[in-house]
A and B are shown apart, each in its own frame.
Chain A
Amino acid sequence: MLWYIPALPLGAFFILLFFGYLGRSFKNIVGTSFIFLSFITSLIISMSHWGEKSYAEILWTWIPKTHIGFVLDPLSIIMILVITFVASLVALYSTKFMSDDPSLARFFAYLNLFVASMLILVLADNLLLLFAGWEGVGLCSYLLIGFWYERPETNAAAHKAFITTRVADVFLLIGIIYLGLELNTLTISTALIRMGEFYSSGSLSAHIIALCLLIGALGKSAQFPFHTWLPDAMLGPTPASALIHAATMVTAGVYLLARMAPLFNLAPDIQHLIVVGAAFTLILGSWCALRQSDLKRVLAYSTISQIGYMFLALGAGAPGAAMFHFTTHAFFKALLFLGAGVIGEALHHEYNMFKMGGLKKELPLTYYTFLMGSAALVGLPLISSGYYSKELILSETYLSPAAGLVPWIIGVLGALLTALYVGRMIILVFFGKAHAPITMKPTWPMTFPLIILAFLSLFAGALQTPLLQSLGFGHHKIDLAVILIASAAPVVGLIFAYLLYKNHNKPKKYRDFRLDNIYKYIFIYPYIKLSHYLRKDFFIHIYTPVINFINFTYALLSQTQNGRIGHYLTVVVASALTIIGFLVWL
């Protein structure tokens, strides 16, 4: 009954597709309940198979040697529980957030399709089915970013996200095909076993496959150099941003690398590359987050930098730490996005932080939950879940032979910057004097998810031991000084943030490091030049006359369709007379 889990949201997608004309409460119930049922099913199945190494279920043979089949192991248990749980809360939140939107059915249909694809991605037992889910979530991300398609900038953002991730997906597909050819299987468990027999550590084939998979993961997880799509993706509806661009889809890359971890152990150079890229991305993300004026863009850059931490753990050979940070991050980042949605709604769709301020008194519940989420994001020692996961990543990095001291220092520096931009965000949004009156108070479908997620942001750290044990990772002993320095970084960062930003001073410029412009000159302009050149090739001489002929005929025939009833009748009578005359003449 494993297939129920993705089938339920998929069913809701089809119901909403065909019965979207029914009432709002029907859409709300269908859109929310099927995801929630999927969560309940995941919970029951996970309970009954807890502790087992893996539980597979093959549905039917797709192409020779490849089945449509699902597999449940500790890694996918964590993924499905987090995905369906966060998705249920986000769906509940959306019933209120999207209540005024005319295309509610479309939103819920996309949301359910996304959840179904994501579950297929994490439950797939072979790489081809995983790729199908991978493309499915990419499609839903595109559809939800461009949800308000009347505005040209959302369309541009959606195209950008889709094309950027597509480029990376092609590499992933190449990697999957290459792996299939080399190992003669696409089933993940078989491939991981055969890999150890076929490749010695550091062999070229293992490096090529690992590099291709890594590029695919970088694209989906918005890591440098593919990260530029994520900040623009914030033009979509906020619940979609919370679910797709913070909690689940962008961590698909982390899942892929964690799933294929034995492959990366065979390719040490790629592991070094992951560490270097992750260290760079996490600093870049936090630095950019410090220079934003839009609340959601701050959170987007913060997501980039937090996923950088997960990649750091993966590069350091600690997938357990990455999965733990994925879990806590899903809770607190979803919470922050949903909180930002409440703030934006209360201020009439205003997300500019410099037009906020003084919201502590107006939205007390949002303030306290947002504060708890921020504490987890900063990694405030002992009282937040983010502390335990980030701490684990940093100590694993410190101990790992693949990473070591320098990545650890960068990680601590990143934690400091995180505290700095989070402090700035909190001060700008909630303190100081108010700029505009609030127009809406959040009601229970919006506050309930906030409270649940805030609770988890604080206490999900308790999941550390069971989670790591189920994945088969132990604890390492580490110097107290290393832990103390890493724990001090967030506190120091918050103090700096208070000193620097207490006056709400505006920076002169907002920067995204202008990578967009560089990509424009390297990729977009040459592409446009090339397509202009290719316009004048040989085949144009064949097609132009055809087009001209069709246009001419069209102009001729459209003359008869002038819309005058008398003319039509005349033609009818004339034709009737002609036919009768012809018959009589015969």
Chain B
Amino acid sequence: MISVPLEHSLILAGMLFAIGLFGLLLRRNLIFIFLSIEIMLNACAFAFIATGHHYGQPDGQVMFIFILAIAAAEVAIGLALALKFEQIFKTLDAQAANEMRG
């Protein structure tokens, strides 16, 4: 079995994280913002798994379970917020909630 080097996994995780981050910064649709956050969370989880595997420790998998739980909670709350947001503003554009008049 050919083992994948740790660097490759970490680079993949970094790329995923960057994709998520840029999505978060540039997207205005709430659903896509959530997706971006999910991607970032998964990038972190992937990094944990990869390092855990590299060192032969189970800690990485424990952290993965934690992140999974956090992501589930985040989605539950986030989607509820998105639903309410759509009902109030009749759109999913995050910009619509901008009520500051500075």
State whether A561 and B98 are in contact (beta carbons under 8 Å apart), knowing that A566-B26, A566-B28, A573-B25 are contacts in the complex: no
Which residues of the partner chain A approach B26 to less than 8 Å between Cβ atoms? Answer: 566
Q: Does A564 contact B (CB under 8 A)?
A: yes
Q: Is the CB of B100 within 8 A of A563?
A: yes
- The residue in chain B whose Cβ has the minimal distance to the Cβ of A561 is B102
Q: Does B87 contact A (CB under 8 A)?
A: no
User: Which of B25, B95, B99 lies at the interface centre, i.e. has the most chain A CB atoms within 10 A of its CB?
Assistant: B25
Which residues of the partner chain B approach A562 to less than 8 Å between Cβ atoms? Answer: 100, 102
Q: Does A570 contact B (CB under 8 A)?
A: yes
- Expressed in whole angstroms, the Cα–Cα distance for A476 and B56 within the complex equals 116
Interface string of B11-34 (1 = CB under 8 A from A): 000000000010011101000000
Which residues of the partner chain A approach B21 to less than 8 Å between Cβ atoms? Answer: 573
Tell me the count of chain B residues lying within 8 A, CB to CB, of chain A.
11
Q: Is the CB of B98 within 8 A of A564?
A: yes
Q: How far is the CB of A544 from chain B (nearest CB, A)?
A: 25
- Expressed in whole angstroms, the Cα–Cα distance for A24 and B44 within the complex equals 56
- Expressed in whole angstroms, the Cα–Cα distance for A558 and B24 within the complex equals 24
Q: Does A181 contact B (CB under 8 A)?
A: no
Interface string of B82-101 (1 = CB under 8 A from A): 00000000000011001110
Q: Is the CB of A558 within 8 A of B102?
A: yes
Q: Does A569 contact B (CB under 8 A)?
A: yes
Which residues of the partner chain B approach A569 to less than 8 Å between Cβ atoms? Answer: 24-25
Which residues of the partner chain B approach A558 to less than 8 Å between Cβ atoms? Answer: 102
Q: Is the CB of A565 within 8 A of B94?
A: yes
Which residues of the partner chain B approach A573 to less than 8 Å between Cβ atoms? Answer: 21, 25
Enumerate B1-56 residues with CB–CB distance to A below 8 Å.
Answer: 21, 24-26, 28
Q: How far is the CB of B18 from chain A (nearest CB, A)?
A: 10
Interface string of A557-586 (1 = CB under 8 A from B): 010011111100110010000000000000
- The residue in chain A whose Cβ has the minimal distance to the Cβ of B99 is A563
- Expressed in whole angstroms, the Cα–Cα distance for A573 and B24 within the complex equals 11
Which residues of the partner chain A approach B102 to less than 8 Å between Cβ atoms? Answer: 558, 561-563
Tell me the count of chain A residues lying within 8 A, CB to CB, of chain B.
10
Q: Is the CB of A563 within 8 A of B25?
A: no
Q: How far is the CB of B20 from chain A (nearest CB, A)?
A: 11
Q: Is the CB of B28 within 8 A of A563?
A: no
- The residue in chain B whose Cβ has the minimal distance to the Cβ of A567 is B25
- Expressed in whole angstroms, the Cα–Cα distance for A570 and B26 within the complex equals 9
- Expressed in whole angstroms, the Cα–Cα distance for A569 and B26 within the complex equals 10
Interface string of A540-570 (1 = CB under 8 A from B): 0000000000000000001001111110011
Which residues of the partner chain A approach B25 to less than 8 Å between Cβ atoms? Answer: 566, 569-570, 573
User: Which of B21, B95, B99, B102 lies at the interface centre, i.e. has the most chain A CB atoms within 10 A of its CB?
Assistant: B102
Which residues of the partner chain B approach A561 to less than 8 Å between Cβ atoms? Answer: 100, 102
- Expressed in whole angstroms, the Cα–Cα distance for A561 and B94 within the complex equals 16
- Expressed in whole angstroms, the Cα–Cα distance for A570 and B98 within the complex equals 17
- Expressed in whole angstroms, the Cα–Cα distance for A564 and B98 within the complex equals 7
- Expressed in whole angstroms, the Cα–Cα distance for A573 and B40 within the complex equals 13
- Expressed in whole angstroms, the Cα–Cα distance for A379 and B94 within the complex equals 75
User: Which of A562, A565, A570 lies at the interface centre, i.e. has the most chain B CB atoms within 10 A of its CB?
Assistant: A565
- Expressed in whole angstroms, the Cα–Cα distance for A481 and B21 within the complex equals 104
- The residue in chain A whose Cβ has the minimal distance to the Cβ of B33 is A565
Q: How far is the CB of A551 from chain B (nearest CB, A)?
A: 14
Q: How far is the CB of B53 from chain A (nearest CB, A)?
A: 25
- Expressed in whole angstroms, the Cα–Cα distance for A562 and B99 within the complex equals 10
- Expressed in whole angstroms, the Cα–Cα distance for A171 and B87 within the complex equals 64
Q: How far is the CB of B6 from chain A (nearest CB, A)?
A: 19
Enumerate B58-102 residues with CB–CB distance to A below 8 Å.
Answer: 94-95, 98-100, 102
Q: How far is the CB of A122 from chain B (nearest CB, A)?
A: 52
- Expressed in whole angstroms, the Cα–Cα distance for A562 and B100 within the complex equals 7
Which residues of the partner chain B approach A563 to less than 8 Å between Cβ atoms? Answer: 98-100, 102
Q: How far is the CB of A571 from chain B (nearest CB, A)?
A: 10
- Expressed in whole angstroms, the Cα–Cα distance for A303 and B25 within the complex equals 71
- The residue in chain A whose Cβ has the minimal distance to the Cβ of B27 is A566
Which residues of the partner chain B approach A570 to less than 8 Å between Cβ atoms? Answer: 25
Which residues of the partner chain B approach A566 to less than 8 Å between Cβ atoms? Answer: 25-26, 28
- Expressed in whole angstroms, the Cα–Cα distance for A573 and B28 within the complex equals 17
Interface string of A192-230 (1 = CB under 8 A from B): 000000000000000000000000000000000000000
Q: Which of B24, B95, B99 contacts A564 (CB 8 A)?
A: B95
- The residue in chain B whose Cβ has the minimal distance to the Cβ of A569 is B25
Enumerate A252-297 residues with CB–CB distance to B below 8 Å.
Answer: none
- Expressed in whole angstroms, the Cα–Cα distance for A563 and B97 within the complex equals 9
- Expressed in whole angstroms, the Cα–Cα distance for A561 and B99 within the complex equals 11
Which residues of the partner chain A approach B28 to less than 8 Å between Cβ atoms? Answer: 566
- Expressed in whole angstroms, the Cα–Cα distance for A576 and B41 within the complex equals 17
Q: How far is the CB of A556 from chain B (nearest CB, A)?
A: 12
- The residue in chain B whose Cβ has the minimal distance to the Cβ of A565 is B94
- The residue in chain A whose Cβ has the minimal distance to the Cβ of B95 is A564
Q: How far is the CB of A12 from chain B (nearest CB, A)?
A: 40
Other than the known A561-B100, A562-B102, A563-B99, what 15 A-B pairs have Cβ atoms closer than 8 Å? A558-B102, A561-B102, A562-B100, A563-B98, A563-B100, A563-B102, A564-B98, A565-B94, A565-B95, A566-B25, A566-B26, A566-B28, A570-B25, A573-B21, A573-B25
Residues of B participating in the A interface, judged by any CB pair closer than 8 Å: 21, 24-26, 28, 94-95, 98-100, 102
Residues of A participating in the B interface, judged by any CB pair closer than 8 Å: 558, 561-566, 569-570, 573
The 10 closest A-B pairs by CB, nearest first: A563-B100, A563-B98, A561-B102, A558-B102, A565-B94, A569-B25, A566-B25, A570-B25, A569-B24, A573-B21
Cβ contacts A to B, 8 pairs, < 8 Å: A558-B102, A561-B100, A563-B98, A563-B99, A563-B100, A564-B95, A566-B28, A573-B21
